[in-house]
Structure 1
C-alpha cells in the first residue's frame, strides 16, 4: 500500500481561507466518518478505484439516534451552524422562493411545507402546509426562472404538477397535471426537476427501476439500435435517464442515459449547464463504484448498467455491450462509494447581497450526503463542496458540514437538502430527526 504522504498532493482550491491545502488522493482519499472534518479535501480519480469485490458487499445500515441534547454541526472556521427549524417528517428537497420563503418537500408524507423566515430572529416561523396528498413529492422548481415566477412545479414519483403561484403565496391553488412520466413502477422513486435559464426546457431525472438491471433480458439488435446511446429497455425504459420536455410537458426527449439514480439536479448560474448528483450501484464492495456529481451532457451516456466511471465493465454484465466500451462519459467529481449524495445546490448570492459564507464560496456547489447501508464502515452523513474553479469542477471535494454521527457511531442526522437563503446563509436539512440547520458567519467575522 502506498505511504500516506505519497498519497497527499497540494492543490490550490478556493477555500474559505483562500490558501493551498493538502488534498487526499489515492488510498488516502478513502476513509469513513471518523476521518471527516471541515476542510478535508479528497480527490478520487478513475484509476484509484479497486477491483470489483475487492471487499465483500456489506449490509450496515445506520444505527439511528435521537437528536442530542446539545447537537453540534461542525463547519469551517469563521462560520457557525444553528438549528433553524424542526418538526418535519422526512424532509428531503429544499427550495427557496425568490421572495425568501423556504419550501420543503416531505417526500414520504406526501406534503410540501413552506417556512417564512422571521426577521431579526435565529429561528424560523412554524411551517405551514402548502400542498398535501402527493405521491412522493421531491423535485420543486419555480417557473419562469427569475424574480417573478408564476408557477411552482412539483415532480412526484409518476407525474409532474404545477401550482399557480404569486410571490408570497402560502397556500396552494388548484394544481394542473403537466405530464405523466409513463414509466415502470418500483425502484428509485425520487424525481428532481429543473429548468434551463431561458425557460424553454424542463429537465426531469428518473432513477433506475433496479439496482443493476439484474433482470434486463436481451433485446433484438434492431430494437437496441433505435434507442439513444446507452438507453435501456424493458422495465428500464426511460429510467436511469434525464428526460427533457418543454414547460407544458410536451416534446419528450431522452437528454442523457446511463445515470443510475440522478437524485439531485441543479443548473449552474454561471453558464446554465445542467449538473447531477448521482447514487451509483450497490453490491461491488466498500469502495466501488464511486458516487458522483457531474455535468450532464446532452446525448451523454454515463455507463449504467454495463459500465461505471468510464470503461470499467460491471462484472455482472460482462460482455453484454462491447459496443459501448469507450463511449462512456467520465463524471466530473468522484465521491467515496456509498456516500449517497442526494440534492445539490450552487451557492449564488443574489445580486447586491454579500456572500455570507465568504466570497470564495460564490459559484461553488454544495452536495448533501445521506449515507448508505452498503459499506462496512459508514461514510457520507455530511455536506460537501464540489470544488469549482472558474465554473469548472476540479474533481476535488471538501468536507463542509460534519458531526451528524456521534462518537458512538450512531447517526442523528442524515443530510438531504441544501439551499442558500436570500441573505446568502446556507440551509441544510436532515431527515433522521427532521431538522433544518442554518450556516452563518460567526459574530464579528464579517
Structure 2
C-alpha cells in the first residue's frame, strides 16, 4: 500500500529541499547532489506485516553455477570453505579469504540468525575464525596453493596490506602484523592497534577496512549493535559509523555517521569518491527500508536510527531527534528493501566490456525479513560522468524458485588484477570466479 498523493508530494518536496540545503551547507559536489533519488516512493511504515522468511540453503548441485550475462564465464575458484565472507587481493596478487560467521556476542536476548533461522546461541563457537591464502601461480583462474595464513582470530572480516604490515579487522579490534609480500603464513603475534565495539544485531559483527588512495589513512566500518537502537543509544557508541584512523591506530575520528551497517567500501575510480553499501533496518514491512549505495561525505549523517532515506522519521524513534532527522542525507542509489546489500567493488580494470568500466558490483546476501525472498544475487551499478545509474542484475541463479530454497548467498565481491571478479558465497562455502569469455 503506497502513501497518499499528498503525502508523497510533501515527502518529495521535503527531500528536494533537503538536497538543496545540503548542497549549500556542505562540501558536496554538483554531481554528487544530482545523483540523489528525490522521486523514490516509499510506503508508510507497517503497510505490510514484518515477515520472518528464512531461506533454506541447498548448496550447489554438481555442474550447476550462478548465471552471468552473455559473454561471461562462471567457474568455481574455491570450494568447501567454511563461511567465506570477504576476499582481498594483495598487491603481489595473493588472494586472502576471511572465513567467519555469526557467534554469540554478549547481547542477552536471543537474536535470529538470518542464515539458518536458528538462534545465535545455538551457533556459538562454529566460526572458522581464520584467513586462508590462495595463490594462482599459473594465472589460469585455478589456485595452485591453498594455505591457512592466519588462525585463532575473532570473527575476522576486513583485510589490508599497507607497507610492511598486514591488517585484520576482528569484530573487537584492528590487528596489525609484520608482513612481507609472498609469505604464506603468519605465526608471530600481532598487535591490536584499535579496540572496536564487539558483536551486533544479526551479522553486524563485521568490520571492514579500506586505505585512502595515498595510504595515509585507514577507514573502518562498524555496524550498529541493534536494529534501531532498541537497547538504548548508549549501546551504540562508535557504531553505525565509518571511522578514520592513522595506520598506527591513532587519530580516530568519525568520518561519517548514521550508517546502520556500512559493510562494503570502495573508491570510485574516476572521481576518487568514497562509496559504501549500507544494509538498512528491519521490521517496518516488506518494502521498508531500502538498502542503498551512496557516496560518503565527510562529516555527513545518513539517518540511523532516527530517519531513513532522507528525512523519513522512523516511528520507533519518533520525536527524539528532529534535528538529526532534518540533517539526514538522501543516499544515491536504492538497492531494494531487505536485500542485505553487503559487498561493494568498483570495476577499475579493462577485461570486461566498456559498460562495466568504473561501475560498481554489489553482493546482495538476501532477505529474511520479507514475505518474498529478494536479493540473493550480485547487481551492477553503471556510472557515467561520475554519476551512478540504476542497478541491474549481473550474477543470478542463487534462488531455487519456491520462495524458500536457495543454492547459496553471495557476500563479498572483489575485482582482481587480471580483470576477473571473485564472489564469496558464504552459505555454500564457494568462491565464484566471473571472467570475460574468450572469443
TM-score, structure 1 length as denominator? 0.81
Deviation at 1:85, TM superposition (A): 1.2
SS at match of 1:301: coil
2:437 counterpart of 1:442 = yes
SS at match of 2:413: strand
Deviation at 1:312, TM superposition (A): 0.5
Alignment of 1:262-341 (within 5 A): 262-341=262-341
SS at match of 2:57: coil
Deviation at 1:283, TM superposition (A): 0.2
Contact 1:178–1:248 (CA under 8 A) maintained in structure 2:
no
- Superposed CA deviations along residues 193-240 of structure 1, whole A, max 9, x for unmatched, are 111111221111111111011132xxxxxxxxxxxxxxxx41111111
Matches of 2:161 and 2:189, distance apart in 1 = 14
Contact 2:339–2:375 (CA under 8 A) maintained in structure 1:
yes
Deviation at 1:176, TM superposition (A): 3.0
2:135 counterpart of 1:119 = no
Alignment of 1:196-211 (within 5 A): 196-211=212-227
- Superposed CA deviations along residues 337-362 of structure 1, whole A, max 9, x for unmatched, are 0000112111112xxxxx22223212
Matches of 2:284 and 2:237, distance apart in 1 = 24
Structure 2 counterpart of 1:406: 400
Say which of 44, 47, 67 aligns to 1:51.
44
Contact 1:196–1:272 (CA under 8 A) maintained in structure 2:
no
Structure 1 counterpart of 2:112: none
Contact 2:259–2:303 (CA under 8 A) maintained in structure 1:
yes
Matches of 2:71 and 2:316, distance apart in 1 = 48
Matches of 2:234 and 2:218, distance apart in 1 = 25
Alignment of 1:9-28 (within 5 A): none
- Superposed CA deviations along residues 384-418 of structure 1, whole A, max 9, x for unmatched, are 11221123323x11111000112344111100111
Q: Do the aligned partners of residues 184 and 140 (structure 1) sit closer, same or farther apart at CA in structure 2, a change above 3 Å counting?
A: closer
Say which of 228, 247, 260 aligns to 1:212.
228
Q: Do the aligned partners of residues 54 and 44 (structure 1) sit closer, same or farther apart at CA in structure 2, a change above 3 Å counting?
A: farther
Matches of 2:164 and 2:366, distance apart in 1 = 36
Matches of 1:193 and 1:384, distance apart in 2 = 22
SS at match of 1:251: coil
Structure 1 counterpart of 2:243: 243
SS at match of 1:325: helix
Matches of 2:310 and 2:258, distance apart in 1 = 11
Say which of 356, 362, 376 aligns to 2:357.
362
Say which of 91, 100, 106 aligns to 2:99.
106
Contact 2:358–2:382 (CA under 8 A) maintained in structure 1:
no
Matches of 2:331 and 2:85, distance apart in 1 = 24
SS at match of 2:56: coil
Instruction: Give RMSD over aligned pairs.
Output: 1.9
SS at match of 2:40: helix
Structure 1 counterpart of 2:89: 96
Structure 2 unaligned residues grouped into runs of 5+:
3-35, 101-126
Matches of 1:270 and 1:73, distance apart in 2 = 30
Matches of 1:311 and 1:433, distance apart in 2 = 39
Contact 1:279–1:291 (CA under 8 A) maintained in structure 2:
yes
Contact 1:161–1:175 (CA under 8 A) maintained in structure 2:
no
2:177 counterpart of 1:140 = no
Deviation at 1:46, TM superposition (A): 5.4
Structure 1 unaligned residues grouped into runs of 5+:
3-42, 144-148, 217-232, 350-354
Structure 2 counterpart of 1:170: 184
Structure 1 counterpart of 2:164: 150
SS at match of 2:355: helix
Deviation at 1:69, TM superposition (A): 2.2
Q: How many residue pairs get matched?
A: 377
Deviation at 1:103, TM superposition (A): 0.6
Matches of 1:65 and 1:184, distance apart in 2 = 31
Matches of 2:310 and 2:135, distance apart in 1 = 44
Deviation at 1:180, TM superposition (A): 3.1
Matches of 1:179 and 1:376, distance apart in 2 = 43
SS at match of 1:172: coil
Q: Do the aligned partners of residues 46 and 170 (structure 1) sit closer, same or farther apart at CA in structure 2, a change above 3 Å counting?
A: farther
